């Protein structure tokens, strides 16, 4: 990512973080609308999950200049997701849900440049997670 893209994502995440729970609720609503089969992977009460989503986003966004600082955490997260049954296709659905929720939350501020920066940010994260998930050991039943 370019320095401008990193700055844009960070600035917009600052706006999102001010209403983190509302943003995260919108994300999960969109995700489950896009693919209802993902709902059973999550707890009935999404309160804690919404906080986890925002926390992970914050960690990654703060480390965009040096993803090596969080790469081990991202790989561990990917291994857990693989254990939950997350597939490569699910990462695409999550990406669509994320961009949709950002657009809903940021309104006119989420222009083409913003969408491209966020798509690159998420795509980079998803690529690392997909690669790590493929090499994750199988989870015992």
CB atoms within 10 A of CB 12: 19
Nearest to 67 by CA among 2, 13, 128, 112: 128
Give me the helices (H) in the chain, please. Answer: 3-17, 20-34, 47-62, 71-84, 88-106, 112-134
What mean pLDDT do residues 4-13 have? 96
Which of the following CATH numbers is that of domain 3-134: 3.30.365.10, 1.10.490.10, 3.40.640.10, 3.40.50.261? 1.10.490.10
pTM: 0.89
Q: C-alpha 75: how far from its chain's center?
A: 14
- CA nearest to 24, candidates 50, 48, 49: 50
Q: Which residues in 96-113 are b (16+ Cβ under 10 Å) and which e? A: bbbbbbbbebbeeebeee
d(CA 62, CA 43): 27
- pLDDT at 112 exceeding the cut of 70: yes
Largest CA distance in the chain: 47
DSSP at 140: P
- 18-68 pLDDT, tens digit per residue, is 999 999 999 999 999 999 999 999 999 999 999 999 998 999 898 888 878
Could you tell me the CA-to-CA distances from 9 to 17, 81, 111, 114, 130 in Å, in that order? 12, 24, 12, 7, 22
Indicate whether 104 pLDDT > 50.
Answer: yes
């Amino acid at each position: 990512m370019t320095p401008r893209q990193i700055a844009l994502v960070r600035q917009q995440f600052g706006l999102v973080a001010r209403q983190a729970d509302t943003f995260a609720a919108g994300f999960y609503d969109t995700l489950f609308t896009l693919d209802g089969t993902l709902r059973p992977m999550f707890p009935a009460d999404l309160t804690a999950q919404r906080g986890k989503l925002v926390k992970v986003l914050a960690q990654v966004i703060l480390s965009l200049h040096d993803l090596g600082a969080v790469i081990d955490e991202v790989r561990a997260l990917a291994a857990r997701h693989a254990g939950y049954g997350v597939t490569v296709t699910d990462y695409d659905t999550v990406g669509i849900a994320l961009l949709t929720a950002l657009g809903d939350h940021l309104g006119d501020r989420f222009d083409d440049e913003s969408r491209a920066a966020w798509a690159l940010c998420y795509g980079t994260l998803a690529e690392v997670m997909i690669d790590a998930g493929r090499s994750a050991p199988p989870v015992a039943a």
